[in-house]
Structure 1
Amino acid sequence: MKWIISILLFGLPYLSQAQTWAEWTRQKKTQRKYLAQQIAALQVYVDYAKKGYRIADAGLSLIQSGKKGDFDLHHTYFNSLAEVNPAIKNCQKVASIIIGHFQIVKQTKEALYSVQQNGQYTSAEIASCKNTINNLLADCLTAVEHLVSLLADTEFQMTDDERMKGIDSLYTDMQDKKTFTASFLRAMELLSIGRMVEAMETKRSRILNGVK
């Protein structure tokens, strides 16, 4: 499971440690292409997951086989829980969770670069920002790992309703993470702006007062 997640989420060029920010910027036009490829990779993984029995395949024979049919019906129902409904795999919220994670990664990496470069933050503030972002990204990765588990036929024995509830919960969680990300990065930005304004006012005051 870990290796497929790594390919899906950290195989993107802009997450490569060997790639500079300038290189990522030059490749920005192909960002959507890479995103589509990662989502496709997720779907391929799901499609190749081991499948259980389909209730539909049992047909009327279950009903016609008496007591044995009752046993087979329960057995087939249990196995069908390992067969993920394609409608669930293709649910819009599934794509939204993946895209939401990519958006958070992009925004936080860009913001961290700015924080480290603009000279408006102390080393302690930079370290705190980096720690917050790392924890956020780790939580996002855990959420997507759980999503893949929900979509993999052999991971959890669940009904369609149970899987959808799990997806709904992950979707809400990712939306909360996006909201937190926006608020946190905005707060960091305002701190920087405030300090730049203060520095400009101080410089202006010194000039007016003839202080070098």
Structure 2
Amino acid sequence: MKKIILMFIILYGSMAFAGKATAQEEEIAQLLLNVEKLSQFKQILSDMKTGYDVLNKGYGTIKDISQGNFNMHEMFLDGLWAVSPTVKQYGRIADIINDQVLLVKEYKSAFNRFKSGNMFSATEITYISGVYDNLFNESLHNLDELTNIITANKLRMSDDERIKAIDKLNTDMEDKLRFLRSFNNSTSVLALQRQKAMLEITASKAMNGIN
């Protein structure tokens, strides 16, 4: 009987030990697995940090380059505020101013003639005056544009752009002067026709003894 009890105790102890050993093995295996996962996680973090450093460095480089380009661009734009001697001495500038002087002189002379000739009604004189006023105001606008173009710190333009703008103003001023002369000629012809008609009527009345 004692032998049977002793054998049972030994068997139970062996089983308990075996169970305990198995549990320890599982804990060790789980621990090793956790260590491996931790190592992988650390590698992932390391790769992420490396990627971030590369990205951040690249961004810094791009920022520096873009800032450098911006500064160069600013310098270029700031230079466009200046007006070179080539532009200031451009011959078309004098032509524009001369056309403006001619426009004023010619429209004033013609208007005084039309008003004093008594060939036009008050309404017609008002219309003629309106045409001259509009033309004069538009020519002043051209001079304002010209002043801005040839004055430093007014417009950001290259020399080529300023020259082209001056050429355009010159053409526009020439068109205004041509229009003025055409209008004056047409109006003068109308005044002469009316004067001739009045003379013919006066002569006809005189021949017929009509007062």
TM bucket normalised to smaller: 0.5 to 0.7
Specify the alignment match of 1:81 in structure 2.
Answer: 80
Residues 1-212 of structure 1: pairs in structure 2 closer than 5 A: 73-212=72-211
1:109 and 1:188 map into 2 onto residues whose CA distance is: 14
Q: C-alpha displacement at 1:75, in angstroms?
A: 3.4
1:67 and 1:192 map into 2 onto residues whose CA distance is: 69
After TM superposition, the score normalised by the length of structure 1 is 0.65
Q: C-alpha displacement at 1:211, in angstroms?
A: 2.2
1:211 and 1:71 map into 2 onto residues whose CA distance is: 88
Unaligned runs of 5+ in 1: 1-65
Distance change in 2, residues 1:71/1:125 (3 Å): closer
1:203 and 1:99 map into 2 onto residues whose CA distance is: 43
Specify the alignment match of 1:26 in structure 2.
Answer: none
Alignment RMSD (CA, Å) = 1.9
After TM superposition, the score normalised by the length of structure 2 is 0.65
Unaligned runs of 5+ in 2: 1-64
Percentage identity across aligned positions?
29
2:208 and 2:99 map into 1 onto residues whose CA distance is: 51
**Structure with the bigger percentage of helix:** 2
